[in-house]
Structure 1
Amino acid sequence: MTTPTPFRVYKGDGDRLVEAGKETQRLVMLPAGDPRTVRAQRRIRVQWGQHLLDDVLDGRYRTVICGVNDENNDRGILGELFKLIPTSQWTLASATSYAKMFRDSVSVHAREDREPYVLKFDLDRLLILALLRPAGRDHFTLEDVFRGFRTISKMLEGRRDRHPVATVSFLGARSNRLVAHEDGDESSLESVLDAMHKAGFEGDFYPPVTAWDVAPTGVFASYPFPESLDRMREGSS
């Protein structure tokens, strides 16, 4: 019986030369599901190892979701997105000013509405849907993410002109950070995905660069994660 030739990734000696050691920044991607069957369920693709700004520049997305506040967005991704679209009339200063004007307006006319609000920035070929950070806080919570993405999901429903869509993770953010609860601890990536998914979101999710170094913990390419994970958790408790 003929021994099958091992699958190779690289040309020449590449496979041997690119073996990742323990000190190397790396991910362990775990397979899930059967690629020969269609799951036909709503899911969020996790874009491990991909660069959101490059993908936006390449025109892969029509809509991008991120955060905004009415004080200072200098350290967030919003300004970088504005720079990518030279035809846009938005600047970081004008976006922050708009957020403040919107905040002042709703405080008078829609005081009973529940935050966070979603602001739209139309950059010609790219639409930015920005969650406005709740007043009086320097962070978002998981509840904010759930409510905000529930609104965003309704804004995207039936609008094929607003797809494909991608979102930042809000984890590790400097201008509009996300915490699990008011105690200040940062949430897990799974908890963020769960909040977005329960809110009805379907699209691409870009983890923070800090998450690219979680080996030996294995990661999956989409959410919901396989049921086997819950079974393993139940067995370890």
Structure 2
Amino acid sequence: MATGDQHTQTSDDVRLYDDEGELLMSSDQAADRVTLLPPAYSRTDPKERIRILWGQDMLSDLLSGRYRVMVCGVNDEDNSHGIIAQIVDMTTTSQWTAKSATSYAKMFHEAISIHAAEDREPYILKYDLDSMLILAILRPKGRDHFTIEDLKRGFQTVTKMLRNREERQPVASVSFLGARSNRLIDPATGQEPSFETVLRTMYEAGYRGDIYPSPPMWRYGHVGVFPSFPFPEGLDTMRAGGF
């Protein structure tokens, strides 16, 4: 109970905007919005989670120097519509272009076909932009998409490349969903896997950085989302029919 000049704040006391901002910024009619749920209390070490950056502009964050490492996909055919093209073209310290990034991937694939034919894909290519390092998971040769197994093996390697390397922190990754150049497909369904499956795959591979949801995910304002992974245990309880 509040005493003296202490005051217990209620929802009626909270103001998000000046003047009539709350009335002007009603989200009910907004096409792009998310319903962010508070994370459940957990004894999990805060470092042992993946932060999900809902509503944040990935390119702006990268170009402003918030991250030292970015994880994304690359292929040896055409990356002109991929996120790697946008990053290398917009980073002022970069000597890479979308065309040279693709040429490097092609040259790498040609080299390993001769010298390391028995190695397991996918491989991780490093693109040094001076202000940032891109760790790009190379799409297996002869395929037009990644699979969850590719993602698993790729992030296992990425995790090894980040381990005990403080100069490679902080790190962020794309979600690999909604991609135009390097799609992620579940072979069993021919469709993209769920975001939860992607998060679980990255987490089990050892990844503990940040992740940016794809813009189409912002259109699910009717579904509650969490700011980090693992999700609260209560979600599995509800899925099992409990409360």
Short-chain TM bin: over 0.9
**2:67 aligned residue:** 61
Deviations along 1:156-215, one digit per CA (max 9) or x if unpaired, are 000010010000011010000101225421110000000000000011100100000112
| TM score, norm. by length of structure 2 | 0.91
| TM score, norm. by length of structure 1 | 0.94
Shift of 1:86: 2.0
Shift of 1:57: 1.1
2:79 aligned with 1:73: yes
Letter of the 1:9 counterpart? L
User: Closer, same or farther in 2 for the Cα pair 1:87/1:101, shift >3 Å?
Assistant: same
2:150 aligned with 1:148: no
Letter of the 1:31 counterpart? P
Distance (whole Å) between structure 2 residues aligned to residue 142 and residue 181 of structure 1:
9
Shift of 1:83: 1.8
Deviations along 1:2-47, one digit per CA (max 9) or x if unpaired, are 884521111111112212115542211011134xx86315110001
**1:32 aligned residue:** 39
Distance (whole Å) between structure 1 residues aligned to residue 214 and residue 100 of structure 2:
26
From 111, 117, 122, the equivalent of 1:111 is 117
2:227 aligned with 1:221: yes
Distance (whole Å) between structure 2 residues aligned to residue 3 and residue 197 of structure 1:
39
Residues 165-184 of structure 1 correspond to what in structure 2 (within 5 A)? 165-181=171-187, 183-184=189-190
**2:22 aligned residue:** 15
From 158, 161, 169, the equivalent of 1:163 is 169
**1:188 aligned residue:** 194
Secondary structure of the residue aligned to 2:119 is coil
Letter of the 2:136 counterpart? A
**1:93 aligned residue:** 99
User: Closer, same or farther in 2 for the Cα pair 1:83/1:224, shift >3 Å?
Assistant: same
Letter of the 1:132 counterpart? L
Letter of the 2:239 counterpart? R
Q: Mean Cα displacement is larger for which, 69-78 or 108-117? A: 108-117
Deviations along 1:68-110, one digit per CA (max 9) or x if unpaired, are 0000101101111112222222111111111011101111111
User: Closer, same or farther in 2 for the Cα pair 1:38/1:60, shift >3 Å?
Assistant: farther
Distance (whole Å) between structure 1 residues aligned to residue 220 and residue 119 of structure 2:
39
Shift of 1:112: 1.4
TM-align CA RMSD: 1.7
Q: Which consecutive residues of structure 2, in runs of 5 or more, have no partner in the other structure?
A: none
Letter of the 2:198 counterpart? V
Please say if residues 75 and 175 of structure 1, whose CA atoms lie closer than 8 Å, have aligned partners that are also in contact. yes
Distance (whole Å) between structure 1 residues aligned to residue 17 and residue 43 of structure 2:
30
Equivalenced residues, count:
234
Distance (whole Å) between structure 2 residues aligned to residue 75 and residue 83 of structure 1:
12
Please say if residues 67 and 172 of structure 2, whose CA atoms lie closer than 8 Å, have aligned partners that are also in contact. yes
Please say if residues 141 and 182 of structure 1, whose CA atoms lie closer than 8 Å, have aligned partners that are also in contact. no
